[in-house]
A and B are shown apart, each in its own frame.
Chain A
Amino acid sequence: MRRYVYPLLTALALIAAWWLAVRYTHTKIFPSPLDVVRGLGKLAEKKLLWAYIGDSLFRALTGYLIAVLLGVPTGIALGWWSALARATNPLIQMLRPISPLAWMPLAVIWFGVSNVAPIFLIFLASFFPVVLATMNGVRNVPPMYLQAGRNFGLTTPRLLTRVVLPAILPATLVGLRIAFGVAWLVLVAAEMIAVDSGLGYLIIDARNAGKRYDLVVGGMLLIGTIGLLLDWLIRRTEKLPMVKWGFRE
């Protein structure tokens, strides 16, 4: 009970502070909480809201899943074969700080005006955290496990699947959680480039439409809320038996 009451009280306090700030500064631009609710309500009436949420989730999840499917094996390979890691490390460290948003112009040129461009950007955002977390997980597998596995006569492929993979699950999960956060964060900017649906598009579109800052703030709040829900879902997976052992309560 206490777990939900305290955060709820904080949220209510913030909303009250927001409303008071709008009243007292007589701002003509920044929306009040009521304006935001009304704006989103009208959008829901036009059936656009759920379409936008659905499109955003689709793009984010697709980009994210591709990043995971490619990132985990890459991370394992880099963690296992240190020569490979040494060879590619400078390249990874160089590409990693380049914000996905900097890839935006190229994404439009390569993939045109379609869903692929934002998915590509989200993939880029999620890829490196997954790779690095997995790589570190592999490096930190206690040598004891590997020796025990060898003693039992396991070949390298079987060693990887039966010993390493289960051992790195907690570390990988942390990477997955971070990667999803980044993916969802990049979503807004990724949807700026010439798509015409989605929560990021909602914000940019509201801005382009003149004075619809109620939808801008509404879009931001929606993105934040959905991000919170998805993060909560990922945290629930930390309770699964196959990873639970890796996390302290």
Chain B
Amino acid sequence: MKKLITFTIVWLTVITVAHMTLNVNWAVLLNDRLPESKRKLNVAYIPVTCHLACPVTDYISAYSESGQIFVPRMFQGFPEIKEALMANKMQAAFMVAPMAVALKAQGVPVKIVYLGHRYGSAVVVQKKGPVHKFSDLRGKTVAIPSRFSDERLILFKAAKDNGVDMKDVHLVEMAPPDVAGALAAGAIDGFSMGEPFPSQTEMYGYGRVLFHARQYWPDYMSCVLVVREDIIDKRPDAVQVLVDGVARSGLWLEDGNRRRAHREHAADFVGRYYYRQDPRLLRWALLNPADRVMYEPLSPRKKDFELVVSLMRETGVLDHYIPFEDYVDTRFAEGSMGQTAWRYEAGATKAW
């Protein structure tokens, strides 16, 4: 009996210590213990280039004098981000624009403060498949990240221009990381997603881009940075710092003739330390061509969102009009207008 008790105690101790040293994210745990005014914001993202500004800001700001601006947390899909945001476990999140609008329309107190990026979504089909133009998608199965996504709206927009009724196309919601494998295996006939998943299918030779989003939607934007309203009210300075950091990262990724070098470095550290994706894949998505994904201009513009809202209403995911000012707070974007790109090169030990 004594042996059993001793063994149990030793075993529990060993597992607990192992867990604490190997698994526990002390940064997050200790952050949550700080008083509210000192706590860093928890920011959610998923491993898509749309949200690249999040890990880039975190990584570079770690080298800066003020240290890391926020605590980033990776998720695998948008529903989980939505729930964490609603439960105040995350104070800010990158998510697809229509979902942010829909959440506000359903009464969840959030506001859009910035964009994730421009362009960077594409509709991809099987390379050797029968689909060569949009009308070939009739009767096929196409995956989208969420019914509340610009990736779905772009399909409707393209359908209108090509005279196709979207009722003839079977849409399924899938988590973005799953679609490349599903396309390769023939489980779906195509998908409309953000980078790097279109790049993944091109790189590995089983996918073909049917069209990029910018072909039908010139100022296409997919993901936005959303912050809870109570955080905006209580800690506007922290939100401004967050938006400034993201703006500077956007400028860094577009920094004139350093753009290529910065993007290559970003592909490397984001792929290895944050997204756990092959850096070559991110490099393809960021550089092939160099304007496949653009990180400016990222201020939320009324024109863009009015288009999103009208498309959402047309396609039945929003049942009443909601004015721009209700779901967007432009103060922070305006406040970050004067920001410059981060000064940081690969291998440097400081950034500013």
Contact = CB atoms under 8 A, between A and B. Distances in A.
Interface in A67-120: 105, 108-113
Contacts, number: 55
Contacts of B87: 29
A194 interface: yes
Q: How large is the interface on B (under 10, 10 to 19, 20 to 34, 35 or more residues)?
A: 20 to 34
A211 interface: yes
Nearest to A117: B187
Contacts of A105: 178, 181
B147 interface: yes
20 contacts: A28-B107, A29-B87, A105-B178, A108-B182, A108-B187, A110-B185, A112-B187, A112-B188, A113-B187, A113-B188, A194-B173, A194-B187, A207-B83, A208-B78, A208-B173, A210-B103, A210-B108, A211-B86, A211-B106, A211-B107
Contact of B187 (A29, A109, A207, A210): A109
A23 to B, nearest CB: 19
The 5 A-B residue pairs with the shortest CB-CB distance, nearest first, are A109-B185, A112-B187, A211-B106, A194-B172, A210-B106
A48 to B, nearest CB: 15
A207 B80 CA distance: 9
A28 B86 CA distance: 9
Contact of A29 (B86, B174, B186): B86
A105 B188 CA distance: 13
Interface in A177-193: none
A109 B181 contact: yes
A210 B99 contact: yes
Given A112-B141, A196-B172, 19 more contacts: A105-B181, A108-B181, A109-B182, A109-B185, A112-B186, A112-B188, A194-B173, A207-B79, A207-B83, A208-B78, A208-B79, A208-B146, A209-B147, A210-B102, A210-B103, A210-B108, A211-B106, A211-B107, A211-B108
A109 B179 CA distance: 10
B114 interface: no
A104 to B, nearest CB: 9
Contacts of B185: 108-110, 112
Contacts of A109: 181-182, 184-185, 187
- Majority secondary structure of chain B interface residues (helix, strand, loop or mixed): mixed
Contacts of B186: 112
What's the dominant secondary structure at chain A's contact region?
loop
A217 to B, nearest CB: 14
Task: Name the interface size band of chain A.
Answer: 10 to 19
Contacts of B174: 194
Contacts of A29: 86-87
Contacts of A209: 147
A153 to B, nearest CB: 54
Nearest to B99: A210
B332 to A, nearest CB: 24
A208 B188 CA distance: 20
A136 B179 CA distance: 43
B82 interface: yes
Contacts of A110: 185
Interface in B57-98: 78-79, 82-83, 86-87
Contacts of A194: 143, 172-174, 187-188
B342 interface: no
B157 to A, nearest CB: 22
Interface in B141-189: 141, 143, 146-148, 170, 172-174, 178, 181-182, 184-188
Nearest to A112: B187
B171 to A, nearest CB: 9
Greatest chain A CB density within 10 A among B146, B174, B182 is at B182
Contacts of A208: 78-79, 146-147, 173
Contacts of B187: 108-109, 111-113, 194
A210 B102 CA distance: 7
A124 B46 CA distance: 31
A196 B147 CA distance: 13
Contacts of B148: 210
